[in-house]
Every structure is written in structure tokens, then in C-alpha cells.
Structure 1
């Protein structure tokens, strides 16, 4: 019997999973699905309580929220707290991380860490962005951030816009948006995520947010973008009983607008391998497995090695998955380093690797899928294998007339 942790915030209780997932993954015999299957899944995975209201936002309507605080805060004589990007005497945007921000420092200022105490005479109404790089090409990581660079990071926080392709997927309820899982931008109207993240969900119930960084503020240098969903395309061979082919495409009603913090990721060729390469996983999920895990409000990043398929299978066989476990070809593994892993809430988020032919660009090697634990030595996390599933992605997009140029290096 297998005990696994789906990484999209689904809470698997051991006492229930032992019964529910008997023979999961390695048992080819399918049992008959009971009539109350959907309700049973909801009860087992606790989908209505685990993640609800973790990241509460102001409105259920997709909208551009102002990045200016409505309340002026005075911080000195003729000085106000303003977003850093609006306090620059030469009127240009600082894009190379000139400003160092300490996330943990409390200097007694009324200004938040994303603001400066600025002379009123130096306050800009709108920043000039002539120098902001507009590559309009996939896979470029902003390793030093945009406009500022953080210091004092203790929870693997990413730089602002470091991974401009990552999105947050929400389910909409009465008066709030509930964080569901992560995803990645392939085209202005296409997001790639895990099938288990959008299992049994309707497109009308979802909203995608691109360009987000810190869920607890709207003072980032560039605004996030919200979009409703028109269609969810799940891999036909995905099943919660095996988790094979854990991939889905989310089609947006309105296209995203390219910006420094909103850009696509490149997809690898079908035969690309990343064995032993070091790659980045990113997301807003928990910092550790179990009830003591804390969700992150600032996008985190973790550098992980890609574990070869045979090695991963051997390591997973030494866990409670048992010596009979077989790792399907639709999976790729990464991690196995102590204290470093994706975890609950990271499901659907991208695993991004340097392009072997151009290390300055990044390819999406995987989609966060599942794991036995989080951050246990010699126990890798498991991801959907994007190279293996690339042909399915291309087929689904081409039949809908969506150009593949956006994610082609």
C-alpha cells in the first residue's frame, strides 16, 4: 500500500489513505468506482478546508489592483512612504537590483519593506520604464530581481520577477479567492499545471494570477494580472489512482500582457534529458510536510538536482512505497537533499532547468506532482515529465489554433 502526498495542498490522512490507496500505482487492476466517488474524494482530501482563505484577497473579480497605498503615511518633513519604483530622482526604473531590501529588518520606519521614505519633490506619479528589459521571449530568469534585490532571506524567498512565468491558480468562492496551486505561462492565454490540481473543477470556478510575488502586498514594482479561465484540458490518461500523466492546460478568457514580471517559460524538446543538472522549483507552498507546515506569502525557490529515473525508482522503493514500486515514464524526479523540496501547496508549479544549449535560458523540465515526504534525504520529489508529455501539449494547442512560438526557444 502506498502513502503519498499530492503537492497541491491536498491533505492525505494516513488512517484514510491506507484504505483508499490500497495498491495505488503498482496495481494494474482497477476497482469499480463507487457512486459517491466525488464526495468520497472531497472527504478524504479535505479540499474545502485545508487551503481556504490562506491568501484572502479583496475581490472575486479579476482586476488590476493599484500598487499605491490609499493612505498617505508621513515619514518625515515633506516626506512620504511611496513604492520604491516611484522614488527616483532621475525618473527612471532601477532594474538591476541597486536597492537592497532586508526582509527581516525592522528599522522603526512607518514604511513597508517595499517602500522608501521619499522627498515629496522626488515622488513620481508614474515610473519611466525605458530601461526595463522587454525580451518578449521565453525562459529568461531575472536572477537579480527587478528594481530591487532582497537580503536577509531565510525561507528561500525568490527575487521579485525572478521567475516571471510562474502563476497562482485560485478557486473563486463567495467573497474570496482561495489559493489552489501553481502553474506556468506557456502563451498569453495558456497556463500549464498539474492535472490533480484541477481535478473535478470547472473552468468557471478558477482564476489565474500572473506576475505575483508577495501575496500580502500590492506594492511590488509591477502589477500582477488576473484572468478568468475559459477551458481546462486534462490529460486523458490521468487518474487519481495512478497519478500518471499528471498534466493539464488552462486556457484563459483574456490574454496576459507581457511585462517584466509576466513572461513565458520555454518547453524542452521531447528527447531532452536533465539528469544530474541543478534546477529551480518555485511556489507558495508549505515549508514542511504536515500540520506544522506554513504557507509562504513570498514566492520561494529551491535549487534541486535532477535524479536519474533508475536512481529515483530505487530510492523510492526504500520508502513505504515498497520494493515493488515502478516509476512511470511520465514522471521525472528532483531533490533528495535534506531540508530542500517542494511541498504541500506547490502542486502544478514549474521545475525550471537551464537550457543545455543556452544556459542563460530556462526550460520547464517538470510540473510539481507528488512526494512521499518533504525534504527527506535520498527521497526525491516526483514531477510530471514535461519533455515526455510535450507532444500531448503541442497537439492540444495546435487543435485550438494556439501558436507554439511563445514557448519555443
Structure 2
């Protein structure tokens, strides 16, 4: 009888903000993160930083405040409970962080803590989702031409242009790349891949690094208000490289099939349970990057408005004309047993993503 090897991954590492050399923003003043400036209020023993901005603050990054040297505080400690969270949970301590010109299209810091950036030697490839401290899931289309040793994963990333976030991102090399054995591009089926890092160097669970739940094979849930989020390749090289977010809804199979046949896939399109359709108002995020892949489709867990499961991974946008968009997603519920099998074969703990 096969027995799983339970690895206490959350105990193998700790995350501490890396020390930064603060730069001057005035006489006896320096640019520091909001939480490290003793300008705010203490309520019931908890410190609430002053997040208003003054003229002097404009000399600092939007994640920083111009603070008197004598008022600079040490970096805050992480809440201990973050390692005991269930999958799909989020921490809202830093939702106030937003770039200049914020238009409700960018994800906030820590809003989707399972969101992972996947890089090759040439640069950013696509997005993925963390499902355990050693496993990230994405589309096979994203990584099909890559070797495991050429890939690196970055979890807890937010603004990829700077390193000023309240909690640092974490980078890991890839140990193994698992593409679905039956993946094909034409027709587009079984578009899924699991990326593994070494068991002795897992991602450390923290407020901005958490696994997302995977839907059980028989779960029935409502996809009425879901989100997609990820980075766009076209943003890299800019002053701010933030993950975008967009609200979508998933479609029942019969409606999905009908809409697919009206799109570029044609009347003979055969929809199956391995695919999921999601649509909504048109946004530049999904339709603005034809090479975008692996963007997670995240939907609320039934009975939990602020706990999420991974419903799908963007395989391709199929209709971006007009005011409405439509996209095809790899249906994670259909592949749950395959994912479980691949991790169990390697004696990896699957409880991190179990509802």
C-alpha cells in the first residue's frame, strides 16, 4: 500500500524582508516603507501607518514615505499564523499599495498570493499558480519549448520593476517539468503542466506567498464572479510592472459550446470537459497580449467570498472583437486526478491545495 511522505515544508524556511539602503529625501529624512515610519496611530496596541502623501513624499517611490531619520522603525515581523492558513486565503494588510494612475485594473499587493511569474533565460514567459510550496501549475503551451534547467519561478512578486514591496518575492530554480502526456496544440487539448522545485528549497509561506485550492472532481460551484490576474509581457521594461486583474464569469458547457462555434473555432468545434469558457466585458488585459498563457482563472469557494479555488488556466482568447470577450481555459477540475497522481508518484504532500 502506498503511503504519502508528509513533508513539513512550512517549517523549513522563514522569510525576512531584505535590508535596504534607504535614500535621502530631505534634510535628516529618508525614504522608507510606510510601516517603517513612526507617523501614524496606535489602536489597541496595533500600529496603523500614516499613508497620506506630502510634497516631500513625492521624492520617494509610491511604496515609500519620506520619514525623519529618528522616526524610522525596524521592519515589522510576519504574523505567525500565515503558515497555518488553509488554501485560497488572502492577507489584506497591504491592499492600500497602488501605483500612480491606478485604474482598478491592477492587482493589489497580496491580493492573489498564489500568483507566480515564470521566466526563461530570455525573460518573462507567463503566469502560473502556486498549489503547494514545491509545485506551480501553468499551461503546457507556456513551457513546452523549455527545459527545466532554463526556468525559474518567482512567487510573491508584485511590481517586477522594483524590490520595495512590504514582503520580498521568492525565486526558485526548477527541478522538474511535467507536461501532460497527451497535450497537443491542434486541436488544443490537455494544455496543462506542473512545475516542481526541489523539496529541500520550497517556497516559504508568507502573506504574499500562499497556495490556492484546487476544485475536487465532483464539486458543484457557482462561477458567477471570478477573476483573472497576471503580468503582460508588454509591461516589462517599464517603470512599473504590475499584475493586471479583470472580472469574468464562467459559462455552462452548453453556452460555451454555442459561443465557441460562433467564434473563430467554427461550427464543427467539439467542446469537452477538459475546457472551460469564461467571458465578460472586454479588457486590454486578456486581449492585449496574444502570447499570454497560463493566466489563472480564480473563483470564490462556495460559501467563502474571500477564499478562492483555481478554476482554469488561460489557453487562448478566442473572441476580442466588440465589447465582450471570450476565452478558453484549461478546466482544472477535469485534471485534478492527474495532478494528484503526479505529486503522489513523487511522494509530495497534496493537502496544501485540498478544500
The TM-score, its normalising length taken from structure 2, stands at 0.83
Work out the CA distance in 2 between the residues paired with 1:299 and 1:76: 32
1:351 matched to 2:300? The reply is no
Which one of 310, 316, 335 corresponds to residue 389 of structure 1?
335
| Structure 2 residue aligned with 1:87 | 37
Alignment of 1:7-406 (within 5 A): 69-70=20-21, 72-88=22-38, 109-130=58-79, 133-142=82-91, 144=92, 146=94, 148-150=96-98, 152-154=101-103, 156-173=105-122, 178-253=123-198, 254-274=201-221, 276-285=223-232, 297-339=241-283, 342-343=286-287, 344=289, 346-374=292-320, 376-406=322-352
Calculate the aligned-residue CA RMSD, in Å: 3.2
CA contact (8 A) 2:296 2:312 kept: yes
Work out the CA distance in 2 between the residues paired with 1:90 and 1:320: 56
Deviation at 1:310, TM superposition (A): 1.5
The TM-score, its normalising length taken from structure 1, stands at 0.73
Work out the CA distance in 1 between the residues paired with 2:233 and 2:84: 32
Count of equivalent residues: 332
CA contact (8 A) 1:157 1:300 kept: yes
Deviation at 1:90, TM superposition (A): 8.2
Q: Any unmatched runs of 5+ in structure 1?
A: 1-63, 289-293
Deviation at 1:76, TM superposition (A): 2.6
Work out the CA distance in 1 between the residues paired with 2:41 and 2:83: 19
1:407 matched to 2:353? The reply is yes
Bigger drift between 116-125 and 392-401 goes to: 116-125
CA contact (8 A) 2:40 2:47 kept: no
Secondary structure of the equivalent of 1:398? helix
Render the CA deviation track for 1:313-347: whole Å, top value 9, x for unaligned.
21122222222212232111111323376243541
Deviation at 1:399, TM superposition (A): 0.8
CA contact (8 A) 1:336 1:381 kept: no
Bigger drift between 368-377 and 129-138 goes to: 129-138
> For residues 77 and 341 of structure 1, do their structure 2 counterparts lie closer, same or farther at Cα, with a shift above 3 Å needed?
closer
